[in-house]
Amino acid sequence: MDLSAINPVQLIAFLMVAATPVLLAAIGELIVEKSGVLNLGVEGMMITGAIAGFAVTVETGSPAVGFVAAAGAGALLSCLFVVLTQFALANQVASGLALTLFGLGLSALLGQSYVGVKPPTTPKVEIAGLSDLPVVGPILFNHDLMVYFGIALVAATWAVLKFTRTGLILRAVGENHDAAHALGYKVVRIRILAILFGGACAGLGGAYISLIRVPQWTEGMTAGVGWIALALVVFASWKPWRALLGAYLFGGVTVVQLNLQAAGVAIPVEYLAMSPYLITIVVLVILSADKSSAPAALGRVFHASR
């Protein structure tokens, strides 16, 4: 056992990359849930974004275009959810699960000719001088653009929810859609926009996996990240910064357990492997003193009856 082999600086830098996909998807879902809609289709939208981003990047050679396409594809898939839940007023839990099933199948169909293809590399943002600084350099100044984008998105979401009128309206719709409707807000329109935003974010998260984190295309490669993103939103009590914390915590426990294995720590591996989930539960219990609860209208069907 040799714990000195674990380099904390590298670990943190690495964690920021590992947490990015789940963070992007979670922030999207957070906005969706703030508007009072529960979309369990995150996994389906992520994997669709993963193949769309991958295919477009391979065809155009530009990861930037690929990420835009991934966001578009995620949003497009979420349109199905919009039709089901906002127009046909179907149950949101079932619609979300159906969306995941559909997305997994669709992505596999679309991706058949992209197995074993190597995508163009996404460049890192290197800032002369800063990237080489000890400790701070690897952690803060040596990542690809999407890592910064993810953190910026957290900050922006927080600011919008807290300080802007848009945020206020979104929260009002999520808390009590009947009251919001009575006040003249377009409940359905606001929710549609939120769902599309959630789809786009999930698509970005998926593309981050297929283009940067792995990078390759294989069927089902998101391997459950979408579900973790859903859990993260609840974990974060619908607060953006806490979602960031949660993403780092969850990714961190996974990375630490792999590090401990490599260092030969004598804890049975299977218990290390289940530790991220157990620790999440424990933290959740600790945080349960915080009584800030879910948006009151979460998952409830809205129909404007005059």
Per CB under 8 A, contacts with another protein among 239-258 are 254-255, 258
Closer residue to another protein in complex, CB, 162/189: 189
Site for another protein in 261-300 (CB under 8 A): 261-264, 266, 268-271, 273-274, 277-278, 280-281, 284-285, 288, 291, 294
Cα–Cα separations (whole angstroms), residue 101 to 23, 49, 73, 224: 22, 14, 16, 12
Minimum Å distance from CB 87 to another protein?
A: 8
Closer residue to another protein in complex, CB, 128/285: 285
Minimum Å distance from CB 83 to another protein?
A: 7
Q: Which of 79, 115, 135, 179 binds another protein (CB under 8 A)?
A: 115
Pick the piece of the chain touching another protein (CB under 8 A) from 11-19, 53-61, 145-153, 166-174: 11-19
Minimum Å distance from CB 235 to another protein?
A: 6
Minimum Å distance from CB 305 to another protein?
A: 6
Closer residue to another protein in complex, CB, 157/280: 280
Residue 21 binding another protein, by CB under 8 A: yes
Terminal alpha carbon distance of the chain: 70
Cα–Cα separations (whole angstroms), residue 288 to 26, 149, 236: 20, 30, 11
CA distance 218 to 21: 16
Site for another protein in 165-184 (CB under 8 A): 181
Site for another protein in 71-100 (CB under 8 A): 80, 83-84, 88-91, 93-95, 97-99
Contacts with 44 (C-beta within 8 Å, 6 or more apart), sequence order: 77, 99, 100, 101, 102, 103, 104, 226
Contact 114, 211 (CB under 8 A): no
Residue type, 155: A
The helix-helix angle for 8-34 and 240-262 (nearest 10°) equals: 140
CA distance 176 to 288: 24
Query: Which pair of tokens denotes residue 193?
Result: 């926009």
Minimum Å distance from CB 95 to another protein?
A: 6
CA distance 154 to 27: 7
Site for another protein in 124-163 (CB under 8 A): none
Closer residue to another protein in complex, CB, 140/265: 265
Closer residue to another protein in complex, CB, 115/159: 115
The helix-helix angle for 269-287 and 240-262 (nearest 10°) equals: 160
Site for another protein in 181-200 (CB under 8 A): 181, 186, 188-189
Residue 101 binding another protein, by CB under 8 A: yes
Give 142's strand partners.
126
Residue 62 binding another protein, by CB under 8 A: no
Query: x/- binding map, residues 200-239, to another protein, per CB under 8 A?
Result: ---------x---xxxx-xxxxxxxx-x--xx--xx----
Residue type, 267: I
Residue 10 binding another protein, by CB under 8 A: yes
CA distance 113 to 92: 33
If phi over 0 gives left and psi between -120 and 50 gives alpha, with beta otherwise, what is residue 200? Answer: alpha
